[in-house]
């Protein structure tokens, strides 16, 4: 230290935990921005398409009259839910697969595995941070759809919209858990995405059995639309309970299988 100068104080570096590492990996790469942008864009654009669908169809039909009913506020939200269940789900599964297929890179896998006492400590932060990001993106997209629907089509009940967010966010958490399970079955990101999406497609097919339809996670897909109508959240309690339990079981089983895998 010289005269007339201020002492330099070195700031202590924050310890790098696996939770902080996963948070930085998500936020300091395009993953978080892409996730939020896709959900928000779909939320903002789908009610607009619903509102002006009659004009678009009339223009494309070159004067031919195609009767279409006037869109309702529920239709605006339904268009968002339908689109996000397809496009948004693929984005969530792809991001989760990138986080959970750490065995795809042997060097990184060995580095991580030799520094944790249990694979659960390695899988849990990746599962939880990705699931939280997917839930936040779903909320952001719903807020965008809610705003556009209110402006263009009419108001929606706040309680029903927020209850729908809960159902949609838990379904996205389930998708991340299924991806974790798929990552324990396949080593590559492409294989993990394929297995996860196949499982997510097969579950609604099983829902064709009426006796179990209300208990399956797929019952939560259209819950946001039903909840702004005449349905109540209590109707979806069985599906919510099964989805949370299945998510926990899938994440635990994934950690178990990954722990037994030879790198």
Q: Which residues contact 58 (CB under 8 A, 6 or more apart)?
A: 66
**Looking at the domain assignment, is residue 224 inside a domain?**
yes
19-58: pLDDT as tens digits: 887 888 888 888 899 999 999 999 999 999 988 876 666 6
What is the Cα–Cα distance from 254 to 136, expressed in whole angstroms? 24
Q: What is the mean pLDDT of residues 54-69?
A: 61
Residue the block writes with tokens 């950690």: 255
Q: Which pair of tokens denotes residue 54?
A: 């009659």
By the 10 Å C-beta count (0-12 exposed, 13-18 middle, 19+ buried), 56 is classed as: exposed
Tokens describing residue 48:
């607009």
> Between these two residues, 100 and 140, which has the higher pLDDT value?
140
* In a domain? residue 3: no
- Is 127 part of any domain? yes
Mean pLDDT for all residues in the chain: 85
The answer as to whether 252 is a domain residue is: yes
- State the CB neighbour count (10 A cutoff) for residue 40: 17
Q: How confident is the model at residue 11 (pLDDT cuts 50, 70, 90)?
A: low
Q: Provide the whole-model pTM.
A: 0.86
- Per-residue model confidence as pLDDT tens digits over 82-124: 999 999 999 999 999 988 887 677 666 666 666 676 777 888 9
Asked whether residue 10 is assigned to any structural domain, the reply reads no
Does 8 fall in a domain?
A: no
DSSP 199-212: HHHHHHHHTTSHHH
Whether residue 148 has pLDDT greater than 70? yes
DSSP type of residue 156 = -
Q: Is residue 226 part of a domain?
A: yes
Phi-psi label, residue 162: left if phi above 0, alpha if psi -120 to 50, beta otherwise: alpha
Question: What is the residue whose two structure tokens read 């309690």?
Answer: 237
Q: What's the gap between Cα 199 and its chain centre? A: 15
Domain range for 214 is: 18-260
Least confident of 5-14, 175-184, 191-200: 5-14
Q: Quick one: pLDDT at residue 143?
A: 96
Instruction: Give the per-residue pLDDT at 100.
Output: 86
Q: Is residue 9 part of a domain?
A: no
Count Cβ atoms within 10 A of the Cβ of residue 3 and give its class: 0-12 exposed, 13-18 middle, 19 or more buried: exposed
Is residue 14 predicted with pLDDT exceeding 80? no
Count of structural domains within the chain: 1
């Amino acid at each position: 230290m010289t005269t007339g100068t201020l002492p330099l104080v070195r700031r202590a570096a924050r310890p790098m935990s696996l939770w902080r590492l996963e948070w930085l990996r998500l936020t300091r790469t395009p993953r978080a921005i892409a996730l939020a942008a896709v959900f928000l864009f779909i939320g903002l654009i789908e009610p607009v398409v619903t509102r002006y669908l009659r004009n678009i169809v009339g223009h494309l039909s070159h004067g031919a009259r195609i009767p279409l009913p006037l869109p309702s506020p529920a239709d605006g939200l339904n268009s968002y839910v339908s689109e996000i269940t397809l496009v948004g789900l693929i984005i969530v599964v792809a991001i989760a697969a990138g986080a959970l297929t750490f065995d795809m890179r042997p060097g990184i896998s060995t580095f991580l595995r030799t520094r944790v006492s249990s694979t659960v400590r390695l899988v849990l932060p990746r599962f939880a941070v990705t699931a939280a990001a997917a839930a936040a993106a779903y909320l952001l997209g719903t807020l965008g759809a809610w705003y556009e629907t209110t402006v263009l089509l009419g108001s929606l009940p706040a309680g029903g919209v927020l209850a729908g967010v809960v159902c949609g966010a838990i379904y996205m958490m389930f998708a991340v858990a299924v991806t974790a399970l798929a990552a324990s079955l396949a080593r590559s990101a492409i294989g993990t995405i394929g297995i996860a999406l196949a499982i997510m497609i097969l579950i609604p097919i099983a829902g064709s059995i009426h006796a179990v339809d209300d208990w399956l996670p797929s019952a939560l897909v259209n819950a946001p639309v039903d909840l702004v109508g005449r349905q109540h959240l209590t109707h979806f309690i069985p599906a919510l309970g099964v989805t949370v339990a299945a998510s926990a079981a899938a994440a635990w089983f994934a950690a178990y299988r990954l722990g037994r895998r030879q790198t």
